[in-house]
Amino acid sequence: MSLLKIMSIIGTRPEAIKMAPLIRVLRGTAGVEEVLCLTAQHREMLDQVLSLFNLTARHDLNIMKEGQSLTHITARALEGLEEVILREKPQMILVQGDTTTTLAGSLAAFYHKIPVGHVEAGLRTGDKYAPFPEEINRRLNSVVADLHFAPTPASRDNLLQEGLAPDKIFVTGNTVLDALKTTVQPGFVFPDPLLRKIDFQACRVLLVEAHRRENMGSPLEEICLALLDLLRAFDDTLLVFPVHRNPAVRGTVYKYLREHPRVLLLEPLDPLSFHNLMARSYFILTDSGGIQEEAPSLGRPVLVLRDLTERPEALEAGTALLAGTKRESIFKKASGLLQDSAAYGAMARAANPYGDGRASERICQIILHYFGRSPSLPEPFEP
Ligand code: UD1
Ligand code: UDP
């Protein structure tokens, strides 16, 4: 039987983290040739993940430029991907999530009539500008894709409501939990000496990560002001904030937080360090999507720094809270958790509605089945 050529297209940090376990499974599957193509919409933050997971790419479009626009990413990625697709002629293209690389990847595949598998399909807020531009990226992806790998039953239901064929939607769990399974280690020693110095018993570490485009400007300023209020009100807290490389994020975060003696501003951490830091933090404040999915496995409460989330499962499970992006509401929610140990205990439970660490195996089997190379489909993920 001829080799089945599957091409994965990724561009940013979360796509790399979430595709790494699947790429590993595909590369270990007899009869499959996996080809990795990077748009490199992110550069350093992508390379950091690829090197941690030992992933090599056959193609690298290297499109990132400082303060890039959405049009720049889309146009450069589309042009570059065409050349790669014509050269490789894959039988299926895999894209992940909702970035602009994801959209360009599925469009490029569509222009060459190559079937698309969409990993992490069906997340929705219902508001086209929140998150921006991800909500529209993911909706457009669902129109183009041939196989939809929905992480949860709720994401499957969103796709069904949009009229997609039920036999093309599969509940697999989120691959981010496959990655997390391999990274969190009880005796982990941080390579960063500043992290090694933290006494996690003597202080409460609040871990922060924020980078969404719709939070740039005044929402991010409000977030920083709320963090300063918290530091003032709770003198046993230490704030650790690995700052995303987006210059719009760095400008604001450094302006407000740089001087405070109980704030540690770091460069983006590799996922091994970041996951182990999450595991030791008291709670996490973030607007990141992936972190909302990971934290429940570690029993760490999450305050979501957004007005809406496409990941309602953790809110329903009681391990995450929507804190909004206003100074007062963030302070109120966070100080509630810092003061009330019963409320904290109720949230700090390790139960993950997003996956069981076996999503990549399921996705691989579904792809093989689609091409007539597996007699059966896997059992769906059940939270
Ligand atoms: C992108 C995704 C977002 C995802 C996020 C994950 C889009 C439109 N946005 O947002 O969905 O949640 O990645 O982190 O697809 N930069 C560097 N080095 C890097 C990465 C970024 O210098 O390794 C800087 C560059 O100046 C770049 C800017 O950050 O122009 C913004 O990067 P971009 O990918 O456009 O947006 P993100 O906010 O990172
Ligand atoms: N992450 C990381 N280092 C950091 C911050 C986050 O490795 O300094 C990981 C995090 O564990 C999660 C992923 O990056 O797996 C989330 O990516 P990001 O927040 O950039 O994007 P989003 O999930 O919001 O699209």
pLDDT digits (tens, 9 = 90+) for 39-76: 999 999 999 999 999 999 999 999 999 999 999 999 99
Query: Ligand 2: distance of its center to the CA of 180 in Å?
Result: 12
Pocket lining: 353 vs ligand 2, CB cutoff 6 Å: no
Query: Ligand 2: distance of its center to the CA of 275 in Å?
Result: 9
Active site (catalytic) residues: 98, 120, 134, 211, 213, 244
Q: 149 forms bridges with which residues in the sheet?
A: 119, 170
Closest ligand relative to 269 C-alpha:
2
Cα end-to-end distance, the chain, whole Å: 37
For residue 117, the SS3 value is strand
Burial of 299 (0-12, 13-18, 19+ CB in 10 A): middle
pLDDT at 30 over 80: yes
Nearest-atom index, ligand 2, CA of 269? 8
- Nearest C-alpha to atom 9 of ligand 1 is from which residue? 99
Cβ-Cβ contacts under 8 Å for 251 (sequence gap 6 or more): none
Cβ-Cβ contacts under 8 Å for 32 (sequence gap 6 or more): 3, 4, 6, 26, 364, 368
pLDDT at 263 over 80: yes
Please spell the DSSP secondary structure of 228-247, one letter per residue: HHHHHH-TTEEEEEEPPS-H
pLDDT digits (tens, 9 = 90+) for 143-169: 999 999 999 999 999 999 999 999 999
Beta-strand relationship, 116-119 and 59-60:
unpaired
Q: 206 forms bridges with which residues in the sheet?
A: 239, 283
Query: Ligand 1: distance of its center to the CA of 245 in Å?
Result: 7
What is the pLDDT at residue 351?
A: 81
pLDDT digits (tens, 9 = 90+) for 156-214: 999 999 999 999 999 999 999 999 999 999 899 999 999 999 999 999 999 999 999 99
pLDDT at 1 over 90: no
Two tokens, residue 284: 């996490």
Pocket test for ligand 1, best of 99, 102, 106, 214 (most atoms within 8 A of CB): 99
DSSP state of 167: G
Pocket lining: 211 vs ligand 1, CB cutoff 6 Å: yes
Pocket lining: 21 vs ligand 2, CB cutoff 6 Å: no
pLDDT digits (tens, 9 = 90+) for 276-297: 999 999 999 999 999 999 999 9
pLDDT digits (tens, 9 = 90+) for 333-357: 999 999 999 999 999 987 899 999 9
